[in-house]
Amino acid sequence: MIQIISNSIVWIVCVVFFLVMFITKLTTPTPEQKISLSTAINSKPEQASVTPEIEPQPEEGEEEFNAYKIKRYRQKNDEGFKYEIRHKGKLIKTGTSFSTPVFTGQRKHEANYAEIKTGDNITGNGIPNLVVSTFTGGAHCCSQFEVFELGKDFKRIALFDVADAGNSHFEKRGDDKRLVFVTNDFTFAYWNTSFADSPAPEVILRYCNGKYRLADDLMRKQSIDEKRQQDLIKKIADLSKSVEPSTSPTPLLWETMLNLIYSGNEKTAWEFFEKAWPTDLPDKRQFARDFRNRLTKSLYWREVRMMNEGKKICQESH
C-alpha cells in the first residue's frame, strides 16, 4: 500500500514538473521577441502634424490692473463658474457663467478679431476697460459680453446679450481708436421656420456718446443689382414650389429683405418683396404686417430705421 502511494506521488511530481517547463517555454520570449519588445518600449510614437492653435485661457485665474483685481474660478459642487472684481480689496462686482468658464479680454482667434487685454481702452475715451464674457445657459441662450471701465470710478458701460451669436467679437476697423462690436440680430429666430433656417442679419456697434450705437457708416452697403434680384426671385419661386402644400414662402425671401434693410436699403427690400412674393400664395398683406411687427421687436430697430431714413446716428467723431 505504501509502495502504491509512493509511486503515485512520484507520478504527480513528474506531471507537475513537465507542466511547469511547458508553460515557462510558452511565456519566455525568444531573442527575436525580446528585440521586438525592447523596440516597442523604447521607440517614440510618431507625432501627428498639428496646426498651431492659440492656447485657450485657463478656466481659473487672477489678474490685476492698477488697484483692481479680477478673479475667475469654478464654483463648488459643479455649479458653474464665477468671477469677482475687487477695487482696493473691496468686492464691487460678481457674475456667473453657467456651463462655460468666464473669460476676460479677447484673443485673436481669427484675423479680424482684435486682441484685448485687461486695461486696454477699446472705447476711444482713454479710460481702461475690462471685457468679460459669460454664458447664462438654456436652449439657444445666451452668450453675454460685459464692458467695464476700470478708471477712478468703476462702471459697466455695456451689456451685450447676443443669444446664439457665438461668433460675436470686437474688431478694429480702419484708423478709429474705438473697437467695434460685431454680432447678429436673432429677432427672427423661429419666425415661420426652423431655427436652422432663421436669418440673423449682421449688426455692427460702436461706442459713441457714452453708449454703444449702430455704426451706420459701416452697416451701409450698396443694394443688390437687378440681375441678382431676378436670380433670387427665381430661386424663391422654385423653393416655394418644392414644398407641398406651400402656405408660406421660403425663408430666403425675408432673409433677403432683412439683409437689405440692415444695410440701409429698406426701400429696395419692399420693392423686392412685391416682385418676389410667389403668386400662388395667399396672405401676402398679412405676411407684410407680421414682418413689420416683428422688426419692431428688435433691440436695434430704432437705429436701423434711422439709418434707412438717412439720419446720422452718432455725430461724435474721433
Q: What is the pLDDT of residues 192-205, one digit of tens each?
A: 999 999 999 999 99
Give me the pLDDT at residue 160, please. 94
Give me the pLDDT at residue 316, please. 58
CA distance 98 to 80: 5
Q: Where are the domains of the chain?
A: 61-161, 226-308
In the structure grid, which three cell numbers stand for residue 193, read together?
421656420
pLDDT classification of 245: cutoffs 50, 70, 90? low
Closest CA to 210 of 124, 283, 89, 137: 124
> 23 in helix, strand or coil?
helix
Give me the pLDDT at residue 58, please. 65
Mean pLDDT of 74-94: 91
**Sheet hosting strand 68-74, strand order edge to edge:** 61-65, 68-74, 81-87, 90-97
Give me the pLDDT at residue 282, please. 87
DSSP 164: T
Q: What average pLDDT is seen over the chain?
A: 82
CA distance 75 to 141: 21
Residues 318 and 176: beta-carbon distance below 8 Å: yes
Minimum mean pLDDT range among 22-26, 143-147, 148-152, 214-218: 22-26
Residues 72 and 89: beta-carbon distance below 8 Å: no
- Tell me the Ramachandran region of residue 126: left when phi exceeds 0, alpha when psi lies from -120 to 50, beta otherwise: left
**Residues 155-164 as b or e (16 or more Cβ within 10 Å = b):** eebbebebbb
The answer, yes or no, to whether residue 318 has pLDDT greater than 80, is no
* CA-based R_g, the chain, Å: 33
DSSP 77: G
> 103 in helix, strand or coil?
strand
Give me the pLDDT at residue 244, please. 61
Element (H, E) at 162: strand 154-163
CA distance 82 to 101: 8
